[in-house]
Amino acid sequence: MPVTSALLTLNPLESIPLVEQVVTGIKQLVEQRVLRAGTRLPSIRDFAVQHGISRFTVVDAYDRLVAQGYLLSRRGSGFYVAPLAKTQETPTQTTFLERADDVLWLLHNTFRDVPDVIRPGCGWLPGDWLDEKVMQKSLHELSRKPGAFLTAYGDISGYLPLRQQLSQKNLADIGISADAQQIIMTNGASHGLDLVARLFIQPGDVVLVDDPGYYTLFGYLKSLGARLVGVPRLSNGPDISVLQQLLETHRPKLFFTNTVLHNPTGTSTSAAIAHQLLQLAEKSGLYIVEDDIYGDFHSQHATRLAALDQLNRVIYVSSYSKTISASMRVGFIACHRELAMRLLDIKLLSGLTTSEINQRIMHQILVEGRYRKHIEKIRARLEVKRGQVIRELEACGLLIHAEPEGGMFVWAQLADGRSAAEVATMASRQNIMLAPGNLFRPYQEPSSWLRFNVAHCDDPRIFALLRAH
């Protein structure tokens, strides 16, 4: 029999979105057997009227419940409670490594220690650009301090003085208001992205990503069973008209994006596009995961979604792996309090705590002003190299997508639509590691674009090869 009265008590003033209140409420009713298998739920229209919410919210909630096995959808008939035992009988595969084969192959080869390789396609600064003395001084000072931090697990959220420093200074400087309880320390940005993905994504879920975008993230999301859908990246940010269509078609929960000094194009999202993006997110119930790992290389006050949104629908992820030390693995997530508590639970279950020793080192580097001085030197050096490399690439006949406002990446297109993958293959025979554009597409679609890391473009053999091919 259909249910004809209001099922749930919903509170639109709660910080928890209405769609999540509906999903959680119906799941509890099913698990407590208040709603029995075979019970037909109210139609989308009736449920919306009974509970005073939009039809869109009901559609989203019902779709999620179907995906999670709590409801069955029968065309022309409606939504019914699924047999509870059916959701428990067969274990669900949660890791799909075969879907990430291409990315895994690339990562294994990227981190393989091969002598004399020229790496204009890599995603990090050369070792001699990162000042070891910055870390050595902090390590020396820390080694002389007694304390349980040398042997204990530490605070589950991360070293409190560092979180306070991020809250009161580093995030505040770029317009993001977050207290220390909204910040969770992670083992780099990849760990932060991993925690968010674990919390939100079920096998089969559609997840929006930049196209082109961060290929390691693509591989990881595929390993969770996610279905990736690319949002075309323009010179001023995501293509808003395409994004709107994708939101209407797929109703995804997450959009992972680089806003400042985007990888691989080197461009930044404009304020106008950022405002439109946030309006769409609010309207559709979308969470945006803002990966800002390269943002500190930007010399001006770039627009962050998290600053405009103040962590309402934006989950902000960053780290110091690209700017100070990849070995130290200090990153963080900033988000609204309820999400921070849930992400902290995932962190505890999957890895307990993160290294307080490393976080204390990073705290000293920040509070003593060493980080600011170091970054200013890197920015100035990148500015010079970027201009040189762009001139060289244009002389080789490549088309520059857009001149970046900072950072290490330049996105350039081969003449006559040549295959970047073919050129990269020829380059590898000369021990030159290029980054062809197909790697940065969600499903490695063909591309005539290449990403260049200007800090690794000193060797003239790179440009000789491009001229020859």
| pTM of structure | 0.75
Q: How many Cα atoms sit within 13 Å of 121 on the Cβ side?
A: 27
Q: For the chain, what is the mean pLDDT?
A: 87
Mean pLDDT over residues 95-112, rounded?
A: 52
For the stretch 202-215, pLDDT in tens is 999 999 999 999 98
Q: Between the CA of residue 305 and those of 72, 216, 248, what are the distances in Å?
A: 37, 22, 21
Q: What pLDDT score does 2 carry?
A: 45
Q: What pLDDT score does 13 carry?
A: 78
For the stretch 144-197, pLDDT in tens is 777 777 777 888 999 999 999 999 999 999 999 999 999 999 999 999 999 999
Is the predicted pLDDT of residue 87 greater than 50, yes or no? Answer: no
Q: What pLDDT score does 300 carry?
A: 79
- As a whole number of angstroms, the distance between CA 388 and CA 456 comes to 12
Tokens of 251: 């109703």
- As a whole number of angstroms, the distance between CA 447 and CA 334 comes to 34
pLDDT band for position 107 (cuts 50, 70, 90): low
Is 72:64 a contact under the CB 8 Å cutoff? no
In this structure, the number of other CB atoms found within 10 A of the CB of residue 276 comes to 17
- As a whole number of angstroms, the distance between CA 262 and CA 440 comes to 12
Is 264:225 a contact under the CB 8 Å cutoff? no
Q: Is the dihedral of CA 238, 239, 240, 244 positive or negative?
A: negative
